[in-house]
């Protein structure tokens, strides 16, 4: 399995191969308006894609990976070396720097050295997770290889900091939209939220235009069924995709439970 370049909550890396099996055999432009860690983008490897997110530092980081991979790798190396030589204070100084400047280079470093790799922001958009004291963070040499590999994979993608409706406003018949929004039952865990009723109206709009979409959403977690009752007229198929054990649950509760996520298709 490929290695992540950006660790982001709700990653689809573990189920990307399974989700890919449901993709249509051909499509024109690929849209992913909740890009996050980009696992599906890597798995699909489209030559023409538009990807977005409302988190500006995240999109800035994607554009650095695409356009300036060597410089980004060097920026991580400098920060990582500083952490090893100066100790924990360096982490918190870099975190303060990010919260002032929203630097994508700082964000990459923080994401690789924070507790359990869980990127967390407060209501002001400030990074607020702590240093993972017992781990040094991925080595600069290892991360450089990952950055360079991803950079080659995403040259056909445009990254924009925008709401999902704006990211996909140029989509038309023959294109494909993959949607991985903040889940209904996980408010507060992800960056930003969406208005559920407005989102349903958006899906209805895509159907009216004949644009294919795939939607990853709440499913089953252990004995708990979090599946959301979407209006039946909005989709044609509903599949459950195994995604291994819940890493978030494992971190928070020291428990390991099987997770099945919903995948909706409108064709």
- Would the annotation count 195 as a binding residue? no
With beta carbons less than 8 A apart as the criterion, state whether 195 and 232 touch: no
The tokens describing 111, both together, are 């994401």
Cα–Cα distance for residue pair 103/234, rounded to 1 Å: 39
Cα–Cα distance for residue pair 89/131, rounded to 1 Å: 9
With beta carbons less than 8 A apart as the criterion, state whether 235 and 266 touch: yes
Q: What is the dihedral of CA 179, 147, 44, 177, to 10 degrees?
A: 20
Q: What is the dihedral of CA 217, 220, 226, 227, to 10 degrees?
A: 50
* Enclosing H/E stretch for 62: helix 56-67
The residues pairing with 31 across neighbouring beta strands, listed in sequence order, are 50, 177
- Would the annotation count 175 as a binding residue? no
Contacts of 248 (CB under 8 A, 6+ apart): 9, 118, 189
The tokens describing 263, both together, are 């995948």
Per DSSP bridges, beta strands 30-32 and 49-53 are: parallel
- Would the annotation count 180 as a binding residue? yes
Cα 258 to Cα 41, 218, 232: the distances in Å are 25, 13, 26
The residues pairing with 51 across neighbouring beta strands, listed in sequence order, are 32, 159
- Would the annotation count 267 as a binding residue? no
Which residues belong to the annotated binding site for S-adenosyl-L-methionine? 8, 12, 53, 180
Binding-site sequence positions: 8, 12, 53, 180
């Amino acid at each position: 399995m490929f290695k992540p370049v950006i660790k982001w909550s709700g990653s689809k890396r573990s189920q990307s191969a399974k989700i890919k099996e449901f993709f249509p055999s051909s499509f024109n432009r690929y849209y992913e308006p909740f890009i996050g860690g980009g696992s599906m983008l890597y798995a699909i490897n489209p030559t023409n894609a538009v990807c977005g997110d409302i988190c500006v530092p995240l999109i800035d980081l994607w554009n650095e990976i695409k356009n300036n991979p060597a410089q980004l790798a060097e920026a991580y190396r400098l920060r990582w070396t500083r952490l090893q030589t100066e100790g924990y204070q360096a982490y918190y100084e870099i975190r303060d720097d990010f919260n002032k400047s929203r630097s994508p280079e700082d964000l990459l470093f923080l994401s690789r050295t924070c507790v359990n790799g869980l990127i967390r922001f407060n209501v002001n958009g400030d990074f607020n997770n702590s240093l993972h004291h017992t781990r040094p963070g991925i080595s600069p040499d290892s991360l450089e290889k990952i950055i360079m590999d991803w950079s080659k994979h995403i040259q056909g993608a445009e990254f924009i900091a925008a709401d999902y409706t704006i990211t996909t406003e140029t989509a038309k018949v023959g294109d494909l939209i993959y949607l991985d929004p903040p889940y209904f039952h996980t408010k507060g865990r992800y960056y930003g939220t969406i208005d559920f009723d407005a989102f349903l109206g958006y899906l209805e709009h895509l159907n009216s235009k004949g644009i294919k979409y795939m939607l990853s959403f709440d499913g089953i977690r252990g004995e708990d069924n979090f599946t959301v009752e979407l209006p039946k007229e909005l989709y044609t198929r509903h599949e459950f995709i195994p995604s291994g054990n819940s890493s978030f649950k494992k971190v928070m509760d020291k428990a390991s439970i099987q997770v099945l996520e919903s995948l909706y298709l409108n064709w």
